């Protein structure tokens, strides 16, 4: 860890000198000026991590989801702009009033790439696995599906699902990567079978198939020539314009960006905020797609004694200058958060007033709570110092840099914030204990109201540790009730109201400090056309065409 | 013959010790791969679901049982499954081992060439004026971080001069810069030892005799000095294998090459025990094998060593 940190500075020196030259050579790449989509060509796409599994419920990890999104179709399509649902494999659907039964009518002309039909039987088998999991094969339940009971095949193109309790988020769940439909044979694979090295065995009905793989470094996708069942709103209804895509894993940030602007790659994912300027040169552009879920933020663990006092939580909230963090560490593509949820997420309500930066207020709240500044500037009470630990969230952009700045800001009000950097094992243990990690840095993307339950509910991600992992005790039962209401209220308006109640409650209680609305930042060459992302910013390649 | 068998026996003991030490150390680390993978809050699994998964992995069986199971697995050529990816470790290593071997062998050859070049330049009278500078080169080579060197090479030769691509390069193109990156730090200690040995051998009386016979400096250097300076260099070369692996981790990551280094880096991050256990054994095996070869080569290079062993045998 410390190596990568110190070498980063060295790279900056190396890269910035090289950049002076890059500036001169940029601009020579440019489109040929075609306005109609061109068929053909292979796209060079750079990822920064290798995929770990193509089991669709594991699609939350971006490198996994980026592949699953393009090789599988879903029952319904969620339009990334309107967030409305459109037919895809299902032509239409209905559910009962309390959202415990769903019926889907399916297209009858869809086949998997191994030639087997995509019918009601296989759809039922998909959701039985995703909804229930299979511990014997180490295949976990999909996070997107709640209260699943069983499926029923009505006829060859009709399938019905039953739930033990209202599951109003299920329709959206069927549109997510986690519900990518795979063939009958694929569903029989074990956890090992979904791992790298076997990728060509993962058979979907999507616009691309996996045609090659080099473990840990490369995955090749090939267009499916007979693809003809795109969602209605896609401009391209037929086979993908591209012949194929080479996804190459390039872990080093500067190499990804350099490869793009030197013409060796067409699209790169994960352009870091500090590298954006390198891509914003003639011939290239940045695409920052919002993840539209629970914002990147800090969860204050209420089970911890120090944080059980609302005044301490409010003081920490007021002591953080969030705008300064964004201005210093991030870019304009990282909008300041105004609620626990992203402003483009369904059910969003503005709770900005609770997160205002006010150092004087922060200090007086701490005084009131009995925390007195010591000789070293750190406050203490009953001989205990106001020292808190926050985790470095490795998957989140520039987490360490942001937390370092926040810890400097908090030091000004007498709070000592330590950043946990540890090996994976220690880390995995520490973040489950409110007495080891008091503040948890994370985010989650999903465009359904259920997302807020995913993040905070005791048996989901439980980021506040509202449920103590050791004793099983629930610290704040009211929060649990509010979250359950979001996931199990069938009426749409009432569900939105339930989500807003949670957002307001979290803000009032100062449980969560949202930082920014997290994007996925892609860099692309101007001769790449039609590149877009699904509702939580995974790439869609079937509309892409090249003009070079 | 008994000498050879004895050395092989020692090598096997070293491997068993390495295996056991790796097993104990990996178990002693806090947490485990299953925990890291499945207790990740991003999966949102309940404690009961995690417990079921742990059971399906046999993660809670007694350590001794696990040790015996793993050891016999290894003896039978079964390295288990990567917990992070679910891929058989054997398949994982099989896919990347040739890449790393090729990189390491070429990197090592390039390092030897570079070291000999530096040593020769430092020792030839014709370069006496710049000898001090050349003698300082190995220290510089050691000081340059591999990571930084790799980035600079990529920036200059691939992105600016556009001579070789780093993204999806051809098999030969893809080796040029990584081999160079790897060779520089490895060549440094080799060059240092070579230079010192040359100095020492040159100071010995027999050189004066050869010189008195009218041999040219080049003749002396190539025939007499170099031959005698080989032995310590060879010893060093065996030890440098570790350096080679460490260099490969960085080189493979920066260049996005598949190889043992990349796999190791990812396995360390995820505490993927079966992968790490296999990497340790494969590395130990390579290390032991190289040192065995070096040891067996000594008598060939220096007849005096052969005689002492002959007496012992």
Of the candidates A189, A455, A525, the residue with the CA atom closest to the CA atom of residue A298: A455
> Which residues of B fall within a CB distance of 8 Å from A9?
none
Q: Do residue B35 and residue A195 have CB atoms under 8 angstroms apart?
A: no
Interface membership of A12 toward B (CB under 8 Å)? no
Interface membership of B139 toward A (CB under 8 Å)? no
Please name every residue paired with A512 in a beta bridge, in sequence order, or none if there are none: A299
Q: How much helix, strand and coil, in percent to the nearest 5, is found in chain B?
A: 80, 0, 20
User: Distances in Å between the alpha carbon of A507 and those of A314, A321, A364, B55?
Assistant: 9, 16, 19, 40
10 Å CB burial of residue A285 (0-12, 13-18, 19+) is: middle
CA A511 to chain centre: 21
A328: part of which helix (H) or strand (E)? helix A322-329
10 Å Cβ neighbour count for A447? 23
User: Distances in Å between the alpha carbon of A219 and those of A39, A51, A98, A524, B188?
Assistant: 21, 9, 43, 19, 37
Interface membership of B39 toward A (CB under 8 Å)? yes
The nearest alpha carbon in chain A to B145 belongs to A7
The answer for residues whose C-beta is within 8 angstroms of residue B87's C-beta and 6 or more apart is: A192, A195, A196, A197, A198, A215, B81
Instruction: For Cα atoms B261, B267, B268, give the angle at the middle one, nearest 5 degrees.
Output: 90
- What is the full DSSP assignment across B192-231? HHHHHHHHHHHTSHHHHHHHHTT--HHHIIIIIIHHHHHH
Q: Do residue A425 and residue B158 have CB atoms under 8 angstroms apart?
A: no
Interval B233-260 mean pLDDT:
81
Q: Do residue A46 and residue B167 have CB atoms under 8 angstroms apart?
A: yes
Q: Do residue B256 and residue A14 have CB atoms under 8 angstroms apart?
A: no
Interface membership of B181 toward A (CB under 8 Å)? no
- Phi/psi of residue A40, nearest 5 degrees: 115, 165
Residue A22 · residue A261 · CB < 8 Å: yes
**Coil, strand, or helix at residue A332?**
coil
- What is the full DSSP assignment across A349-397? ---GGGG---HHHHHHHHHHTT-EE-TTS-EEETTEE-EEEEE--TTST
Length of chain A: 548
Determine the pLDDT at residue B65. Answer: 85
- Span B79-100, pLDDT tens digits: 888 888 888 899 889 988 899 8
10 Å Cβ neighbour count for A384? 11
CA dihedral (B70, B267, A57, A59) in degrees, to 10, reads: -160
Greater confidence, A162 or B283? Answer: A162
Instruction: For Cα atoms B72, A196, A399, give the angle at the middle one, nearest 5 degrees.
Output: 105
Radius of gyration of chain A (CA): 24
The answer for residues whose C-beta is within 8 angstroms of residue A459's C-beta and 6 or more apart is: A467, B44, B46
- As a whole number of angstroms, the distance between CA A264 and CA B301 comes to 48
Q: Assign B222 a pLDDT band (cuts: 50, 70, 90).
A: confident
User: Distances in Å between the alpha carbon of A94 and those of A73, A97, A170?
Assistant: 19, 10, 11
> Residue B148: which of A7, A264, A469 has the nearest Cβ?
A7
Question: pTM of the prediction?
Answer: 0.88
B141: part of which helix (H) or strand (E)? helix B131-143
Q: Do residue A425 and residue B32 have CB atoms under 8 angstroms apart?
A: yes
Instruction: For Cα atoms A245, A247, A253, give the angle at the middle one, nearest 5 degrees.
Output: 135
Instruction: Provide the residue-wise pLDDT of chain A in tens; the chain has 548 residues.
Output: 344 444 444 444 444 444 434 333 333 344 456 788 999 999 999 999 899 999 999 998 899 999 999 999 999 999 999 999 999 999 999 999 999 999 999 999 999 999 999 999 999 999 999 999 998 888 989 988 989 999 999 999 999 999 999 999 999 999 999 999 999 999 999 988 999 989 999 999 999 999 999 988 999 999 999 999 999 999 999 999 999 999 999 999 999 999 999 999 999 999 999 999 999 999 999 999 999 999 999 999 999 999 999 999 999 999 999 999 999 999 999 999 999 999 999 999 999 999 999 999 999 999 999 999 999 999 999 999 999 999 999 888 999 999 999 999 999 999 999 999 888 888 888 998 999 999 999 999 889 999 999 999 998 889 999 998 888 899 999 999 999 999 889 999 999 999 999 999 999 999 999 999 999 999 999 999 999 999 999 999 999 999 98
Determine the pLDDT at residue B33. Answer: 79
In angstroms, the first-to-last Cα distance of chain B is: 8
The nearest alpha carbon in chain B to A252 belongs to B254
- Span B163-216, pLDDT tens digits: 999 998 988 999 999 999 999 988 988 888 888 888 888 788 888 888 888 877
SS3 sequence, A1-64? CHHHHHHHHHHHHHHHHHHHHHHHHCCCCCCCCCCCCCCCCEEEEEECCCCCCCCHHHCCCHHH
Q: Do residue B151 and residue A21 have CB atoms under 8 angstroms apart?
A: no
Q: Do residue A15 and residue B257 have CB atoms under 8 angstroms apart?
A: no
How is the beta sheet containing A439-444 ordered, strand by strand? A416-420, A387-391, A439-444, A294-300, A512-516
Interface membership of B60 toward A (CB under 8 Å)? no
- As a whole number of angstroms, the distance between CA A107 and CA A120 comes to 10
- DSSP 8-state class, residue B45: -
Determine the pLDDT at residue A13. Answer: 46
Please name every residue paired with A8 in a beta bridge, in sequence order, or none if there are none: none
CA dihedral (B222, B225, B226, B229) in degrees, to 10, reads: 180
Residues B79-90 as b/e (b if ≥16 CB within 10 A, e otherwise) read: bbbbbbbbbbbe
- DSSP 8-state class, residue B83: T
> Which residues of A fall within a CB distance of 8 Å from B49?
133, 135, 140-141
Interface membership of B41 toward A (CB under 8 Å)? yes
In angstroms, the first-to-last Cα distance of chain A is: 40
- As a whole number of angstroms, the distance between CA A501 and CA A507 comes to 10
Interface membership of A423 toward B (CB under 8 Å)? yes
Chain A and chain B share a number of CB contacts under 8 A equal to 184
- What is the full DSSP assignment across A235-247? S--SS-SSSEEEE
> Which domains occur in chain A, in start order?
42-290+521-546 (3.40.190.10), 293-517 (3.10.105.10)
Pairing assessment for the beta strands A294-300 and A284-290 based on DSSP bridges: unpaired
Interface membership of B2 toward A (CB under 8 Å)? no
Considering only residues 477 to 536 of chain A, which have any Cβ-Cβ distance to chain B shorter than 8 Å?
none
> Which domains occur in chain B, in start order?
33-78 (no CATH), 89-310 (1.10.3720.10)
Q: Do residue B253 and residue A251 have CB atoms under 8 angstroms apart?
A: yes
A516: part of which helix (H) or strand (E)? strand A512-516
Residue A519 · residue A334 · CB < 8 Å: yes
Q: Do residue A18 and residue B160 have CB atoms under 8 angstroms apart?
A: yes
Probe site for chain A from B155, B263, B279 (most A CB atoms < 10 A): B155
With 60 as the cut, is the pLDDT of residue B121 above it?
yes
């Amino acid at each position: 860890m410390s190596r990568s940190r110190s070498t980063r500075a060295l790279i900056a020196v190396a890269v910035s000198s090289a950049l002076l030259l890059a500036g001169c050579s940029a601009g020579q790449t440019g489109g040929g000026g075609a306005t109609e989509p061109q068929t053909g060509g292979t796209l060079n796409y750079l990822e920064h991590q290798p995929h770990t599994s193509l089991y669709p419920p594991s699609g939350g990890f971006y490198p996994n989801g980026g592949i699953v999104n393009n090789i599988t179709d879903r029952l319904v399509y969620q339009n990334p702009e309107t967030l409305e649902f459109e037919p895809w494999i299902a032509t239409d659907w209905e559910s009962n009033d309390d959202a415990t039964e769903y019926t889907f009518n399916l297209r009858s002309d869809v086949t998997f790439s191994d030639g087997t039909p995509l019918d009601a039987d296989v759809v039922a088998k998909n959701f039985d696995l995703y909804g229930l999991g299979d511990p014997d094969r180490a295949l976990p339940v999909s996070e997107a599906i709640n209260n699943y009971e069983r499926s029923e095949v009505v006829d060859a193109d009709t399938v019905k699902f039953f739930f033990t309790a209202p599951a109003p988020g299920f329709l959206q769940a069927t549109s997510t990567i986690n519900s990518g439909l795979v063939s009958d044979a694929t569903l029989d694979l074990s956890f090992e079978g979904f791992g790298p090295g076997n990728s060509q065995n993962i058979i979907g009905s999507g616009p691309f198939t996996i045609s090659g793989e080099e473990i840990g470094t490369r995955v090749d996708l090939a267009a499916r020539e007979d693809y003809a069942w795109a969602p209605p709103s896609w401009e391209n209804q037929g086979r993908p314009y591209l012949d194929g895509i080479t996804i190459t894993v390039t872990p080093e940030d500067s190499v990804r960006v350099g490869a793009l602007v030197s013409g060796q790659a067409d699209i790169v994912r994960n352009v870091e905020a500090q590298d954006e300027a390198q891509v914003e040169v003639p011939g290239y552009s940045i695409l920052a797609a919002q993840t539209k879920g629970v914002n990147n933020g800090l969860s204050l663990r209420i089970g911890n004694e120090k944080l059980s006092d609302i005044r301490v939580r409010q003081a920490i909230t007021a002591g953080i200058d969030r705008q300064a963090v964004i201005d210093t560490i991030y870019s304009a593509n990282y909008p300041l958060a105004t609620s626990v949820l992203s402003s483009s997420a369904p059910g969003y309500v503005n709770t900005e007033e609770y997160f205002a930066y006010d150092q004087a207020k922060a200090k007086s709240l701490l005084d009131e709570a009995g925390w007195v500044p010591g000789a070293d500037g750190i406050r203490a009470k009953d001989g205990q110092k106001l020292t808190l630990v926050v985790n470095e969230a490795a998957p989140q952009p520039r987490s360490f840099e942001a937390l370092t700045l926040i810890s400097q800001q908090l030091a000004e009000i007498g709070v000592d914030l330590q950043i946990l950097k540890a090996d994976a094992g220690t880390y995995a243990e520490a973040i489950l204990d409110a007495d080891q990690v008091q503040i948890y840095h994370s985010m989650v993307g999903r465009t359904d109201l259920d997302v807020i339950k995913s993040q905070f509910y005791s048996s989901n991600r439980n980021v506040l540790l509202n449920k103590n992992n050791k004793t099983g005790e629930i610290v704040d039962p009211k929060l649990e009730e509010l979250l359950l209401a979001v996931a199990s209220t069938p009426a749409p308006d009432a569900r939105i109201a339930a989500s807003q109640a949670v957002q307001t409650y979290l803000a009032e209680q100062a449980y969560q400090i949202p930082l920014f609305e997290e994007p996925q930042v892609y860099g692309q060459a101007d001769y790449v056309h039609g590149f877009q992302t699904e509702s939580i910013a995974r790439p869609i390649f079937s509309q892409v065409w090249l003009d070079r | 013959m008994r000498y050879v068998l004895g050395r092989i026996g020692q090598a096997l003991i070293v491997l068993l010790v390495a295996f056991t030490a790796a097993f104990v150390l990996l178990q002693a680390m806090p947490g485990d791969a299953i925990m890291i993978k499945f207790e990740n809050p991003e999966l949102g699994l309940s404690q009961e679901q995690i417990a079921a998964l742990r059971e399906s992995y046999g993660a809670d069986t007694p350590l001794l049982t696990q040790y015996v199971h793993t050891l016999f697995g290894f003896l039978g050529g079964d390295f288990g499954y990567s917990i992070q990816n679910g891929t058989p470790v054997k398949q994982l290593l099989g896919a990347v081992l040739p890449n790393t071997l090729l990189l390491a062998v070429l990197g090592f050859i390039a390092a030897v060439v570079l070291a000999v070049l530096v040593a020769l330049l430092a020792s030839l009278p014709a370069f006496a004026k710049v000898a001090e500078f050349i003698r300082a080169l190995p220290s510089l080579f050691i000081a340059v971080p591999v990571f930084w060197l790799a980035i600079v090479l990529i920036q200059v030769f691939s992105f600016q001069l556009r001579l070789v691509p780093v993204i999806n390069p051809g098999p030969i193109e893809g080796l040029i810069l990584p081999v160079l990156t790897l060779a520089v730090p490895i060549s440094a200690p080799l060059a240092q030892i070579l230079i010192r040995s040359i100095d020492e051998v040159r100071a010995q009386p027999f050189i004066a005799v050869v010189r008195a016979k009218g041999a040219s400096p080049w003749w002396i250097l190539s025939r007499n000095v170099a031959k005698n300076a080989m032995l310590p260099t060879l010893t060093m070369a065996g030890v440098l294998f570790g350096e080679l692996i460490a260099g490969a981790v960085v080189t493979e990551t920066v260049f996005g090459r598949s190889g043992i280094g990349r796999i190791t880096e990812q396995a360390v991050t995820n505490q993927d025990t079966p992968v790490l256990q296999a990497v340790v054994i494969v590395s130990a095996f390579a290390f032991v094998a190289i040192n065995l070869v070096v040891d067996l080569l000594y008598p060939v290079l220096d007849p005096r060593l052969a005689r002492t062993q002959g007496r012992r045998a």
